[in-house]
Amino acid sequence: MEHYDVVIIGAGAAGMFCAVEAGRRGRRVLVLEHNKAPGEKIRISGGGRCNFTNLHCDPAAFLSQNPKFVISALSRYSQWDFIDRMSRSGIAWHEKTLGQLFCDGSAKQIVAMLTADMADAGVELRLQTSLSDLQKTSAGFEFLAGQSRVRTTSLVVASGGKSIPKMGASGLGYDLARQFGIEIIETRPGLVPLTFAEPELTTLKPLAGLSVTAAVSNGLARFEEGLLFTHRGLSGPSILQISSYWHTGDPVLIDLLPGEDALAFLKSKKSGQGAQSPGRVLAEKLPKRLAAMVAESAPAGKTLANLTDKDLQGLADRINRWPVKPVGTEGYRTAEVTLGGVSTEALHSKTLEARAVPGLYFVGEVVDVTGWLGGYNFQWAWSSGWAAGQVA
């Protein structure tokens, strides 16, 4: 029988960060990871440069059944703390846009920083090792780690969510929570492209590959960022953002000229360039293919001068208030995160410990906390891992 003070399931961002903090407190720590290497999601994120946090990280940028749950962890270990950690490790970084911070070099630098910190703190890491036969004991927990029987006082579940199953993502953390009677908020893909059916798909397909800046909203949130047309529907940062607020059957409203009054533009052009076609005039503001698609909503064969005020209003609405109705998402295969998870009502916000199961902790994506696109979810991993690492 092997004995540890803390065992952490998952060598992702939250798990490794928690391990370092617990190890530095003198705790004997074991991290179990079923993949061949630690930090795989860190390695591939941000195009290989890892969008590791956001300058504007704030509780308002997180979705949860209890929006206030994140306040404690985020305030005690903030984006500024992690930025300082990066600087002390000599990892150069830059702001890309909207407060998003990326490594100047490879994301592997962050993985190397965390694994080196774990080694320095005396943390043991076992790769390609899974947990099974978990039991609660009077002194903590007992289970099989591969073929070895292990006993620990504290057990930290940092196994992530269901997103990107080809990288080994699974529902293990949710299964462990259910084993101890902990509620799971229904999970679904988040930060994911939206898909469409006919007839809308017929309209969208010819625009595949086209990218524009757009404001996308649904009554709950609004995001003004890039929008990408695909063969299956819509993607790009603005769509990924709104997807976390979208539910099946809900419409999405798109403004193709955010900050501009399309009706006022069309009226001014009617008086000065009335002999031109709507498509040609709209191409001054929109890519040609997109302008042609919008112009299809106007009466065929008419010049701008021949359009009525009602016609102009219809064109303007197609630009500033274009309603689309997705039928689904591309699922966990491409989702960057998993919405839902371990109920925050079951956890202490300061420590991430389960209220009904002393010594059991849940950190990172497995918890019902999901941030916006742009480094927010990594910050939740650092903050929640840090919080549990202070006490586990």
- CATH number for the 2-189+335-389 domain, one of 3.40.50.1370, 3.50.50.60, 3.40.50.880, 3.40.449.10? 3.50.50.60
Residue 271 confidence (pLDDT) above 90: no
Q: Which residues pair with 351 in a beta bridge?
A: none
Is residue 364 within 8 A of residue 358, CB to CB? The reply is: no
Q: What gap in Å lies between CA 81 and CA 379, rounded to an integer?
A: 10
Q: Where are the alpha helices (DSSP H) in the chain?
A: 13-24, 40-48, 71-76, 79-88, 108-120, 172-179, 200-204, 237-243, 262-272, 278-282, 288-295, 309-320, 376-389
- Residue 333: which residues within 8 A CB-CB, separation 6 or more? 164, 165, 166
pLDDT tens for each residue of 5-23: 999 999 999 999 999 999 9
Confidence of residue 284 (pLDDT cuts 50, 70, 90): very high
**Sequence spans of domains, the chain:** 2-189+335-389, 193-330
**pLDDT exceeds 80 at position 47:** yes
Helix axes 376-389, 13-24, angle to 10 degrees: 30
Euclidean distance between CA atoms 38 and 16, whole angstroms: 8
**DSSP per-residue letters across 308-371:** -HHHHHHHHHHHHSEEE---EE--TTT-SEEEEEE-GGGB-TTT-BBSSSTTEEE-GGGBS-EE
Strand partners, 184: 342
CB atoms within 10 A of CB 138: 4
Nearest one of 142, 176, 134 to 159, comparing CA atoms: 176
pLDDT in tens, 162-212: 888 877 788 999 999 999 999 999 999 999 999 999 999 998 999 999 999
Confidence of residue 301 (pLDDT cuts 50, 70, 90): confident
Separation CA 345–CA 249 (nearest Å) = 28
CB contact at 8 A, 217 and 252: yes
Neighbours of 246 (CB within 10 A): 23
Q: Identify the CATH class of 193-330.
A: mainly beta
Same fold: 2-189+335-389 with 193-330: no
